[in-house]
Amino acid sequence: MYIITLLFQLVIVLNMFFILIVIFRERRDVGSSWAWLLVLLFIPLLGFILYLLFGQNLRRYHLFQWEDRKKIKSEKMLGTQLMQIRNHQFQFHNQATKDSEDLVYMHLIHGVVLTEDNSVELFTDGQEKFDMLFKDLQGAKDHIHLQYYIIKNDQLGKKLIEVLAKKAKEGVKVRVLYDDLGSRRLTKRFFKKLRDSGGIVEAFFPSKFRLINLRLNYRNHRKLVIIDGKIGYVGGFNIGNEYLGKNQKFGYWRDTHLRIQGTAVHSKQTRFILDWNQASHSQNITYSPEYFPEPTFQGNIGIQIVSSGPDSEWEHIKNGFIKMIQLAKKSVFIQTPYFIPDTSLLDSLRIACFSGVKVKIMIPNKPDHICVYWATLSYIGELLKAGATVYIYDDGFIHAKTLIIDEKISSVGTANIDVRSFKLDFEVNAFLYDEGFAQRLTETFQKDIKVSRELTLDEYAKFPLWIRFKESIARLVSPLL
């Protein structure tokens, strides 16, 4: 009994220490800070455990080695671009990029180079995306860099390992990086054939103990594939049968993924190398020319590859979304599986509605995370009151993460419109400055509307009290989700 009392007193003391850290050291937003303070004060034992697992703020750590990337030719363009835009001397390749000068400049300030020689293929169907991906993998000559949040030990996952092992035997350098939590059901046996063939596999933020991971709350949600430094993939699809529509619960899986050729692939390569070197330690990748070849395929789409994560002081992707919404004159189209915006993004969307901009948001009709689903409905209700149009996707599960402004500029990637993507997860998005591509995304959005139903304000107002109760509780804990 004495030992239990002593341990409880120790927990109280540690909680007081954590409270001081939350208030004076971490500088979180007010909502998140209050949520953690209440948890630590009123449920001390559970709060202690939750803070250890989910509460640490990574922004005070330097996780990535940014210095060496300055050796890359495309990265050397950064200073020149900044100076030219400041002096109004930059020659934009198209009107969409010129109209987005403020957005481009904001990303440049944060170290994101603009490339304007890209071509982009759009995939919204898993089978089509993976058919093309496997074709590209089989054609690799020098290296394959593959990074996913979720890789499953099923038919698609095993096929991937077979292809990668074959390429590794041919002498292609194969590196696979997966998130330790997202792919938690994988075992070493799953990768054995690939490793035996010469491939290298690493986990991001692995648990040092089977059941305890003090960095559990910070997930690498990025999905990147770079092939020979010439072809790059980014988007919402993970690796598994369900992304081919073979899961009975979700049915058809509607997502958005990009295949990019051009200098923007160098930015993806840089992002992969940074993540790999953080996870690997002993087998770092150098920024050698073989990983950054001159593009052989020329396009004309402007792209900035923007990443964000809990290690950064600034929420780069969220700030990009807000700036895009501020630029909108006619329309804002959003597709996201989870909608838990913070106050700044929510206010930006409200202001757009009040300014006569058509704001349309599409969300799934079924939850894959129940608490997030109810919190989503709560925020959706606020935008309905502001005049937004909301669609519930009924043809399976929509996992796409897209933002389209005025059919001119767009963003596609891994970040959802939620606090977790903005503050806690490592994400990457392509910001695309091209009217033709934005119109293709808009056409896809309009096509999706045909298999969706509109959620009206009248319908939302008639939700019963028990749904309102669920929404309120979910919203209360949303800063912790």
What CATH number does residue 294 fall under?
3.30.870.10
| pLDDT of amino acid 227 | 99
Q: In 3-state terms, what secondary structure has residue 208?
A: coil
| Number of domains forming the structure of the chain | 3
pLDDT at 13 over 90: no
For the whole model, what pTM was predicted? 0.89
| pLDDT of amino acid 455 | 96
Q: What is the mean pLDDT of residues 330-353?
A: 97
pLDDT at 221 over 90: yes
On whether residue 425 sits in a domain, the answer given is yes
Q: What is the mean pLDDT of residues 275-290?
A: 89
pLDDT band at 56 (very low <50, low <70, confident <90, very high): low
pLDDT at 49 over 70: no
**What is the residue whose two structure tokens read 């400041």?**
86
| pLDDT of amino acid 67 | 53
The one-character DSSP state at 366 is: S
Give per-residue pLDDT as tens, 354-367.
999 999 999 999 87
| pLDDT of amino acid 470 | 77
| pLDDT of amino acid 233 | 99
- Asked which of 278, 301, 324 is the last residue of a domain, the reply is 301
Classify strands 358-364 and 331-335 as parallel, antiparallel or unpaired: parallel
On whether residue 244 sits in a domain, the answer given is yes
List, by residue number, the catalytic residues: 221, 223, 228, 399, 401, 406
pLDDT band at 71 (very low <50, low <70, confident <90, very high): low
pLDDT at 18 over 90: no
Q: Are residues 335 and 404 in the same domain?
A: yes
Q: What is the mean pLDDT of residues 9-31?
A: 61
On whether residue 160 sits in a domain, the answer given is yes
Tokens, residue 414: 């891994």
pLDDT at 40 over 90: no
Q: What Å distances lie between residue 475 and 138, 478, 480, CA to CA? A: 46, 5, 10
pLDDT band at 11 (very low <50, low <70, confident <90, very high): low
CA Rg value for the chain:
23
Q: Are residues 231 and 185 in the same domain?
A: yes
| pLDDT of amino acid 454 | 98
Q: What is the mean pLDDT of residues 170-188?
A: 94
pLDDT band at 293 (very low <50, low <70, confident <90, very high): very high
- Asked which of 301, 334, 352 is the last residue of a domain, the reply is 301
Q: Are residues 383 and 271 in the same domain?
A: no
On whether residue 115 sits in a domain, the answer given is no
DSSP string, 272-305: HHHHHHHHHSSSPPP--GGGSPPPSS---EEEEE
Neighbouring CB atoms inside 10 A of 155's CB total 12
Greatest distance between any 2 Cα atoms in the chain:
75
Q: Are residues 445 and 388 in the same domain?
A: yes
Q: Are residues 42 and 127 in the same domain?
A: no
On whether residue 471 sits in a domain, the answer given is yes
On whether residue 98 sits in a domain, the answer given is no
Q: Are residues 253 and 374 in the same domain?
A: no
Q: Are residues 450 and 337 in the same domain?
A: yes
Q: What is the mean pLDDT of residues 19-29?
A: 60
| pLDDT of amino acid 463 | 84
DSSP string, 375-404: HHHHHHHHHHHHT-EEEEE-SSEE---EEE
Q: Are residues 405 and 292 in the same domain?
A: no
Which one is predicted more confidently, 291 or 47?
A: 291
pLDDT at 350 over 70: yes
**What is the residue whose two structure tokens read 């992002």?**
271
Tokens, residue 439: 């119109």
Q: What is the mean pLDDT of residues 65-87?
A: 75
The one-character DSSP state at 337 is: S
* Rounded Cα distance, 236 and 434, in Å: 21
The gap from C-alpha 113 to its chain's centroid, in whole angstroms, comes to: 19
Q: Which range has the top average pLDDT, 317-321, 464-468, 474-478?
A: 317-321
pLDDT band at 469 (very low <50, low <70, confident <90, very high): confident
| pLDDT of amino acid 135 | 99
Q: What is the mean pLDDT of residues 86-115?
A: 93
On whether residue 81 sits in a domain, the answer given is no
Give per-residue pLDDT as tens, 101-140.
999 999 999 999 999 999 999 999 999 999 999 999 999 9
Name which of 165-179, 281-295, 401-415 the model is least confident about: 281-295
On whether residue 339 sits in a domain, the answer given is yes
- Asked which of 267, 301, 335 is the last residue of a domain, the reply is 301
* Rounded Cα distance, 19 and 301, in Å: 48
Q: Are residues 325 and 457 in the same domain?
A: yes
Range of the domain at 294: 120-301
pLDDT at 243 over 90: yes
| pLDDT of amino acid 165 | 98
* Rounded Cα distance, 236 and 255, in Å: 6
Q: Are residues 155 and 289 in the same domain?
A: yes
| pLDDT of amino acid 17 | 61
Average pLDDT, the chain: 88
Q: Are residues 236 and 138 in the same domain?
A: yes
Q: What is the mean pLDDT of residues 14-35?
A: 62
Phi and psi for 177 in degrees, rounded to 5? Answer: -125, 125
Q: Are residues 444 and 469 in the same domain?
A: yes
